[in-house]
Amino acid sequence: MKVINIIRDSANIGIGILSAAFGLKGFLLSSHFIDGGATGVSMLISDITFLPISILIFVINVPFLWLGYRKLGLWFAIKSTIAIALLSLCLAVVKFPDVTHDKLLTAVFGGVFIGMGSGLAMRGGAVLDGTEIAAVLVSKKTQLLKVSDFILLLNVLIFGIAASVLGVEPAMYSILTYMAAAKMIDFLLNGIEQYSGITVISTKSDAIRRAITVTLGRGVTIYQGKSGYGKDGHVNDPRDIVFTVATRLEIPSLKQTILRIDPKAFIVQQSIDDTTGGLLKRKKLH
């Protein structure tokens, strides 16, 4: 099983490297658009100094790889170092066609291929951009900034500099590239079946629990709570709170089922970034 995992991770990283390199050389570099993070910094410095981007990408990522080794482990650092080194080599050696000169297509599809590359590398247990390592460590250290907040602030700085160096229009297209890449990474990591958490507070919680588990075939968790207002009974009346997880496509039918049982049910929906274990897939009903 371990050999299969190594092969699968290696394939994800390898395809990710080719995809990211194609996004850079086939779309962005000829139009002088940049991406966010360490890759964007490398592209910006390359435009200013005319140094090879293949060298800059590896050099700028070295401090982040050291941080990854110190905080996230040797195996992660080794895989990420190899991945970034191979990306640099691919940019230096492999020739990709310049696909299009249309600025909008360049920005969008360049971001899509870079995001696909980064997402596949992450699924293989590595990164192609070291700023993601720094973002995780800063968020753990300060607890004031989330990973997404740190990356957003960093990219605001990068694109602000790009606007003054490359011009406002290339910087705006570069922001579009970053957004396309970010959405592609999110799609690859979370998938089309992005999950949502549903919390239901109702006096008919047992009937709702049975409907979700028996009729819809999903798992639930029951919390013990108490009424805090008294609209449907006395204050501090014991109340079972039902929690379940469903895909976005299943949410409408789930809500309809709950409201059919109790039209006064209080339903709270929240997005979930990741899930592990539990009954997430629909249970087959006979």
What is the CATH code for 195-271? 3.30.70.120
State how far the Cα of 130 lies from the Cα of 126, in Å rounded to an integer.
10
Residue-wise pLDDT for 134-143, tens only, equals 766 665 666 5
Core vs surface per residue 244-282: b (16+ CB within 10 A) or e: bbbbeebeeebbeebeebbeebebeeeeeeeeeeeeeee
Dihedral of CA 205/210/215/219: which sign? positive
- Residue 217 phi/psi, 5-degree rounding, is 70, 30
Contact between residue 283 and residue 218 where contact means Cβ atoms under 8 Å apart = yes
pTM above 0.75, yes or no: no
State how far the Cα of 151 lies from the Cα of 148, in Å rounded to an integer.
5
Q: What's 117-150 look like in SS3? A: HHHHHHHCCCCCCCHHHHHHHHHHHHCCCCHHHH
- Domain range annotation of the chain: 2-190, 195-271
How many other CB atoms are there within 10 angstroms of residue 229's CB atom? 7
pLDDT at 286 over 50: no
Residue-wise pLDDT for 173-216, tens only, equals 999 998 998 888 878 876 655 678 899 998 888 999 999 888 77
